[in-house]
Structure 1
Amino acid sequence: MSPLPTTVPAIVRARVRAAVRRRPSQLTPDEVRDRALVLRLLSLLLQYPDAELAAARPTVVAAVEALPASPAATELTAFTDWFTEQEPEALERHYVETFDLRRKSSLYLTYYLHGDTRRRGMALLTLARSYRAAGWETGGGELPDHLPVVLEFAALAGPGAGEAPLRRHRRGLELIRRALTDAGSPYRHLLAALLSLMPPATEADLAAVAELAAEGPPNEDVGLDPYAGGSLAPPGAFVPPGTYAPPGTFVPPEPAPPTLVPLAPPFPSSPDGPR
């Protein structure tokens, strides 16, 4: 956790640190509001920096500057200082190189916990169901474990149940932060800001992160086809081939190859075609 600037009065620094250590249920309404704003800013800034986001940089900077002093605000400021100085094309290139081409800094959280295994599909389904239970629809543009999606849900649903997916994937978040730090990416400030809102890592967390960094997530050689396409369907629904199908879902079989055995004698044709 980065220290607060020394220009901030000591009593303010003490209160901010105490607020960070507090459990979500102990936060004041103002702290919950500020926390939600931080999470929304993180969700926005971790999305692909398209032309719309690049054009909104002055507005984003103003929102960051309005945040009360905190470790998260300090990290956000460090990121936006870099973000506002870059050409849009450079931002897009850096984003793709950082998050799309490097597995260790992928933004899909269930990958770090379950890797490319069948358990990941169930984790995605569970996450999607928790969103629907809270009355929130993602719109289907991204998988439910994409970090910007998880952050937006946390901001909307609140520090308790809303932030539960973030706490569940804390080790993956720590691994992403380390990978971004090793790569020298300014996006490391956004992960540091997020982790500053969460309880400190335990010794077990740090050991698991070290093992994950050395060995990678779990893997298996079979059962990966259901994840193609990344879409989810409730049990009992029709699911086309190439879509993740939870237990109880009807999946049509693959079409059988046409038979090559001739039929004799052939049936006569009719004006309406073969019968």
Structure 2
Amino acid sequence: MSKQDRITYLAASWCLSYPDEQLVARVPLMRAALGEFPGASQPFDVVLSALETTALMALQTQYVQEFDLGKRHALHLSYWTDGDTRRRGEVLGAFKKVYRGSDTLVDTRGELPDYLPMVLEYAATVDLAAGRDLLQQYRPSLELIKFGLQRDTLPHTDIVQAVCNTLPGASPADEQAVMRMAGYGPPTESVGLDPYDPRLLPMKGA
């Protein structure tokens, strides 16, 4: 399963990243790699098809709208557990420590180290065990990202679910179940943006 998981993580990393010409050029590679395993390509099909058939500028505009202009689908894992609190700095430092523990220099490319595509790429190409440990540690964040994407009927939902399926245990039924599974409440020491509060889930179209 390790090879399939690596391919799933790398394809998910690319498909959750900002679309550019390089990403579009990688679509045949992703299709070929995922096609080695029965059913592995299904969660990616809609996104891959969009990359093949939609104008690049339209793809980029949609990505910015869905992922960059708000926090509804924030791809930074510690945002969902720590919000913009002072302790989040310690959490980000822990991600950097994991990366420094590998024998490969991890280029963050200007992103925070908890950026999901980066964590997935790290797991796929550098250290599968350490990367999977990070994903498991932040499983609640993955599930909350998934529910946010699902609420807005975005095809990336199935991709995040595919990542969750590589981890132990079944996915929770809803956001409240995620919070119970995680055993944490919303952060209280806010700096800047309000921390995540499961009682204030955004409604579709908000």
Instruction: Tell me, yes or no, whether TM beats 0.5.
Output: yes
Which of 1 and 2 has higher RCO (CA within 8 Å, sep 6+)?
A: 2
Residues 1:79 and 1:88: Cα distance change in structure 2 (over 3 Å): same
Counterpart CA distance in 1 for 2:189 and 2:150 is 29
Higher helix share: 2
Seq. identity, %: 34
CA contact (8 A) 1:108 1:145 kept: yes
CA contact (8 A) 2:77 2:115 kept: yes
SS of the aligned residue for 1:39 comes to: helix
CA contact (8 A) 1:138 1:149 kept: no
Match of 1:220 in 2: 189
User: What are the within-5 Å matches in structure 2 for residues 1-275 of structure 1?
Assistant: 31-64=1-34, 66-70=35-39, 72-141=40-109, 142-201=111-170, 207=176, 209=178, 217-221=186-190
Equivalent AA in structure 1 for residue 90 of structure 2: M
SS of the aligned residue for 1:84 comes to: helix
- TM-score using structure 1 length: 0.61
SS of the aligned residue for 1:163 comes to: helix
Residues 1:104 and 1:128: Cα distance change in structure 2 (over 3 Å): same
Question: What's the offset of the Cα at 1:136?
Answer: 3.0
Gaps of 5+ in 2: 193-206
Residues 1:177 and 1:203: Cα distance change in structure 2 (over 3 Å): closer
- TM-score using structure 2 length: 0.79
Count of aligned residue pairs for this structure pair: 188
Gaps of 5+ in 1: 1-30, 225-275
Counterpart CA distance in 2 for 1:189 and 1:51 is 23
Residues 1:209 and 1:196: Cα distance change in structure 2 (over 3 Å): same
Q: Which has the larger radius of gyration?
A: 1
Equivalent AA in structure 2 for residue 45 of structure 1: C
Residues 1:182 and 1:221: Cα distance change in structure 2 (over 3 Å): closer
Counterpart CA distance in 1 for 2:172 and 2:33 is 35
**CA-atom RMSD in angstroms:** 2.6
Question: What's the offset of the Cα at 1:198?
Answer: 1.5
Question: What's the offset of the Cα at 1:121?
Answer: 0.5
